[in-house]
Amino acid sequence: MKINHNYLNLKESYLFSLIAKKVNDYKQQNPEKNVIRLGIGDVTLPLVPAVLGAMHNAVSEMGSPHTFKGYGEEQGYSFLRQAVCDYYARKGVMLDKSEVFISDGAKSDLGNILDIFDADNTVIIPDPVYPVYVDTNIMAGRKIIFINGSVENNFLPLPDEKTKGDIVYICSPNNPTGAVYTKEQLKIWVDWALERQAVILFDSAYEAYIRDENLPTSVYQIPGAEKCAIEFCSFSKTAGFTGTRCGYTVIPQALVRTNVPLNKLWLRRQTTKFNGVPYIVQRGAEAVFTEIGFLQVKEQIRYYLENACIMADTLNELGIWFTGGKNSPYIWLKCPNNMSSWEFFDFLLNRCSVVGTPGAGFGDNGEGFFRLTAFGNKGNVVEAMERIRKVLI
Amino acid sequence: MKINHNYLNLKESYLFSLIAKKVNDYKQQNPEKNVIRLGIGDVTLPLVPAVLGAMHNAVSEMGSPHTFKGYGEEQGYSFLRQAVCDYYARKGVMLDKSEVFISDGAKSDLGNILDIFDADNTVIIPDPVYPVYVDTNIMAGRKIIFINGSVENNFLPLPDEKTKGDIVYICSPNNPTGAVYTKEQLKIWVDWALERQAVILFDSAYEAYIRDENLPTSVYQIPGAEKCAIEFCSFSKTAGFTGTRCGYTVIPQALVRTNVPLNKLWLRRQTTKFNGVPYIVQRGAEAVFTEIGFLQVKEQIRYYLENACIMADTLNELGIWFTGGKNSPYIWLKCPNNMSSWEFFDFLLNRCSVVGTPGAGFGDNGEGFFRLTAFGNKGNVVEAMERIRKVLI
């Protein structure tokens, strides 16, 4: 029996284990210090009442033979797919229910979607990047080309006439940089993909954080994207579903390659290798789109964005270059005084008892940068910024 | 961009859509008839009180900042993995928590596990078979060899000196045949795999239906299996989780190929392409293993097995050959009077208003056979058997 030898080419990531070790060591040596974590990529606010109510109801339904639900459609219940369509309609994007697939999260589908593509494709991935894009392609042995994010392009790389590839990942608002493509910039990617018959894998997991009405919250707001893009979204950061697990993937019927609709391939993949998301969870997700549910999750997002705003204000005051923070829960900053990512990590930890994430963990171009996240408690964010201001001003 | 061309080799299955069409036509022509379905592979009894209580509690926990759960470990919460270990310990199988991975169902993991194997492996699949084994391997372009189930071997095929392959699927109790391997028979497969360094993918989704204490409920009850087998189990048929979605996969640390522990490869796959099962669902699954929860689900299994027993009694009375029905919710019968699978389907529908599943839908060797399932209502099962007895006696 031969193992998938591509797995042996994966690099072990020691990013988060090294962070944990350094923080633990620091805490042991400084037990009196109140360490504030601005590095976590997980939400902290509980599920909103509308979602909780819907899930309690659904659990009760599962207890009666008249309302019990067994196997559902692998692609998700019609009620939730319709709610997603209605949400997109409010963005000016008209979808058919058959174009929406309910998933257990964007991460799963971003990995599993690769099943429908040949291993012999060249993949374009921005650097810095969410590491899952890279690892899932290494696992399949695909050729990867990195496209550079930098201060010069505000970490929003664009293709030029030399950019060649078959599949490209775009995450906007971006993790880790918080940068958001404009419609004009996204159009450059869409036109590029249309010309080359490439496919854009568009990760819109943070779209709900966009407050600027001129910025696109879906790739399908760009004409022609329905012929070249698959969009992945999630309730994780929109509604605090990181431990509840639900997302959705959109594959337009118009997206056809070598005469095969990719929607049909993905449906076949899902009906064969997936059995759908729990009924209880789908009912919870549906509640996110109700009038009251939507107001409740918007309030949580407002809370996180206020944290981002507090951090952004401090960085502006200190004259530190950064992206994100306005339409994103992430802030990506240039380490002051030309410190490396890990030097700044140690500096923040030792001088301020504040923990963030070294940018070097997200790719070569992340060296010298640093990620802060807005998912913490407001009081802690204020306190952390006060400490940072004191040592850097 | 090149699509995965292996998908084009998949056969469309019209089994269940053809059944649905025939039943609908019959109902339209015979609106006065009470059609009884003995073909569904889905449970019908609601979740048990212990599970419902645990899930209500978990939903409430998600509503408080003090008990809210964000991302959990991809391989599942420790409390549930420990509960699985304790369950196995009662079977005499000692597992470490690190050997248990909580999944969203056996179907998902049975498909996704193939990620860790090279495409260049030969797969042995029994015929007749659960179609997912075949399709997931066609998707990856693997070579498939079928091994024949027949009346002669009671639909429990075994390897001989000529059987060559790298990966073999064993489902016991079997879907669709309901046949169960004895320990002696399983030992032949384990010894075969150990000798050839092959890997057994053991689907034990129906293990909870085994009442005969001499029959193995886990492949690890066979010495040496920990060095050659991966086991997939599910709460779907054990506790009615078909719409709640939870299962588990066991990969022993002792299972090593080309110096790589397969457990490590799978952990890497899951942490990269999966984000775990909802907290609420894992708490529900944990409740299945409590004393009261276990009694409650055993009572449901007893109900289904009683249905199977009623069907078996009728078939015995009519002198119809069959497997299953004793330690399985499935009955696999030889169509009487040498009818083909579809002929018998039409016969049952038109003469008895009873719906089952033609065996031909599960592979070439299924032709001339027929599957009945025990997941229906007892009154209906009694009535259906009465009708069948009348026309066949």
How confident is the model over A21-77, as pLDDT tens digits?
Answer: 999 999 999 999 999 999 888 999 999 999 999 999 999 999 999 999 999 999 999
At residue A232, φ and ψ (nearest 5 deg) are: -115, 125
| Beta carbons of B324 and B351 less than 8 angstroms apart | no
d(CA A367, CA A361): 8
Contact B1 A280 (CB under 8 A): no
Report the run of H or E that residue B23 belongs to, with start and end: helix B15-29
Lowest model confidence (mean pLDDT) among A3-17, A91-105, A242-256, B268-282: A3-17
Q: Which residue on chain B is closest to A74 by alpha carbon?
A: B243
Q: How confident is the model at residue A353 (pLDDT cuts 50, 70, 90)?
A: very high
Q: Stretch B149-164: mean pLDDT, rounded? A: 96
In degrees, to the nearest 5, what angle opens at C-alpha B131 toward C-alphas B127 and B135? 110
Residue A123, helix vs strand vs coil? strand
Residues B329-361 pLDDT 10s: 999 999 999 999 999 999 999 999 999 999 999
Token pair belonging to A339: 């410190």
Closest residue to A117, CB basis, from B4, B135, B265: B4
Residues ≥6 apart with Cβ < 8 Å to A149: A126, A127, A128, A155, A156, A157, A177, A179, A365
ipTM higher than the 0.85 cut: yes
In one-letter notation, the amino acid at residue B233 is C
Cα B235 from Cα A77, distance rounded (Å): 21
**Cis amide leading into B49 (omega within 30):** no
Query: Are residues B198 and A1, on separate chains, in Cβ contact within 8 Å?
Result: yes
The verdict on A44 touching B (C-beta cutoff 8 Å) is yes
Whose tokens are 């790739």? That residue is A219
Helices (H), chain A: 15-29, 49-61, 78-90, 106-112, 131-139, 183-196, 236-239, 262-273, 279-288, 291-318, 341-352, 378-392
Taking the C-alpha atoms of residue B46 and residue B244, their distance in angstroms, rounded to an integer, is 11
> Is the pLDDT at A303 greater than 90, yes or no?
yes
Residues 267-296, chain B: which have Cβ within 8 Å of A?
268-269, 272-281
B20–A contact, CB cutoff 8 A: no
Is the Cβ of B57 closer than 8 Å to some Cβ of chain A? no
Does residue A64 sit at the B interface (CB-CB below 8 Å)? Answer: yes
B/e letters for A161-174, b = 16+ CB within 10 Å, e = fewer, are: eebebbbbbbbbbb
What is the pLDDT confidence band of residue B12, given thresholds at 50, 70 and 90? confident
CA distance A111 to chain B (A): 5
The per-residue pLDDT for B41 is: 87
The residues near A98 (Cβ < 8 Å, ≥ 6 apart) are A253, A263
Picking from A47, A63, A72, the nearest residue to B52 by CB comes out as A63
Sequence-distant (6+) residues with CB within 8 A of B197 are A1, B228, B257
From residue B252, how far is each of B95, B233, B265, B374 by CA, in Å?
8, 14, 12, 33
Nearest CB neighbour to A276, from listed B60, B121, B245? B245
**B244:A278 CB<8 A:** yes
Taking the C-alpha atoms of residue A16 and residue A375, their distance in angstroms, rounded to an integer, is 17
Cα–Cα distances (Å) from B68 to B52, B57, B198, in that order, read 19, 12, 44
Alpha-helical (H) ranges within A207-261 are: 236-239
- With H, G, I as helix, E, B as strand and everything else as coil, classify residue A323: strand
Q: What is the pLDDT of residue B310?
A: 98
pLDDT at B234 over 90: yes
Q: Indicate yes or no: CB of B4 within 8 angstroms of CB of A265.
A: yes
Task: Calculate mean pLDDT across residues A234-260.
Answer: 98
User: What is the Cα–Cα distance from B331 to A384, expressed in whole angstroms?
Assistant: 66
Per-residue DSSP letter, B256: E
Domains and CATH numbers, chain A: 12-41+297-392 (3.90.1150.10), 49-289 (3.40.640.10)
Cα(A179)–Cα(B36) distance, integer angstroms: 59
Model confidence at B40, pLDDT cuts 50, 70, 90, reads: confident
Mutation target among B169, B263, B275, B377 for the A interface, most CBs of A within 10 A: B275
Nearest CB neighbour to B68, from listed A46, A64, A257: A46
Q: For residue A256, what are the β-bridge partners? A: A261
Is the confidence at residue B267, as pLDDT, over 90?
Answer: yes
Q: Say what the pLDDT of residue A393 is.
A: 87
**CA atoms of B89 and B110, how far apart (whole Å):** 24
Q: If you average pLDDT over residues A232-259, what whole number do you get? A: 98
User: Edge-to-edge, what's the strand order for the sheet holding A100-103?
Assistant: A100-103, A247-250, A229-234, A199-203, A167-171, A122-127, A143-148
DSSP A260: E
Average pLDDT, chain B: 97
- Under a CB-based contact definition with an 8 Å cutoff, are residues A377 and A310 in contact? no
Structure confidence at residue B13 (pLDDT): 80
Residues of B in contact with A1 (CB under 8 A): 117, 121, 166-167, 197-199, 257
Give the DSSP H/E element, type plus range, for residue B126.
strand B122-127
- Measured between CB atoms, which of B1, B245, B275 is closest to A198? B1
**Tokens standing for residue B145:** 């060899």
* Tens digits of residue pLDDT in A101-135: 999 999 999 999 999 999 999 999 999 999 999 99
The Cα B82–Cα B219 span in angstroms is 19
A389 touches chain B (CB under 8 A): no
Residue B258 clears pLDDT 90, i.e. is over it: yes
The percentage of chain A sitting over the pLDDT mark of 70, rounded to a whole number, equals 100
Question: Above 90 in pLDDT, residue B246?
Answer: yes
Which of A74, A113, A115 to mutate against chain B (most B CBs within 10 Å)? A115
**Six-digit token string for A369:** 């940068």
- In this complex, the residue of A3, A52, A64 whose CB is nearest that of residue B118 is A3
Task: Using the predicted structure, report yes or no on whether residue B276 has a pLDDT greater than 90.
Answer: yes
Q: pLDDT at position B14, please?
A: 80
Q: Most B CBs within 10 Å: which of A45, A52, A62, A304, as the mutation test of the B interface?
A: A62
Rg (chain A; Cα; Å): 21
Which of A141-150, B10-19, B357-366 is the least confident region? B10-19
Alpha-carbon gap, residue B103 to B249, rounded angstroms: 7
Identify the pLDDT of residue B64.
98
Q: DSSP for B25-92, please give it.
A: HHHHH-TT---EE----S--SPPPHHHHHHHHHHHHHTTSTTT------TT--HHHHHHHHHHHHHTT
User: Looking at residue B254, what DSSP letter applies?
Assistant: T
Nearest-CA distance B332 → chain A (Å) = 22
Closest A-chain CA to B270:
A108
Q: Do B275 and A115 touch (CB under 8 A)?
A: no
Determine contact, residues B123/B145, Cβ cutoff 8 Å: yes
| pTM of the full structure | 0.97
pLDDT at A12 exceeding the cut of 90: no
Distances (CA, A) of A247 to A93, A240, B179: 18, 11, 39
- Under 8 Å between Cβ of A136 and A121: no
Average pLDDT over residues A223-237: 98
Cα distance between residue A2 and residue A5, in whole Å: 8
CB of A110 closer than 8 Å to CB of A232: yes
Q: Is residue B128 predicted with pLDDT exceeding 90?
A: yes
The DSSP line for B172-199 is SS-TTT-----HHHHHHHHHHHHHHT-E
The answer to whether B3 faces chain A, any CB pair under 8 Å, is yes
In residues, how long is chain A? 393
Are B234 and B79 in contact by the 8 Å Cβ rule? The answer is: no
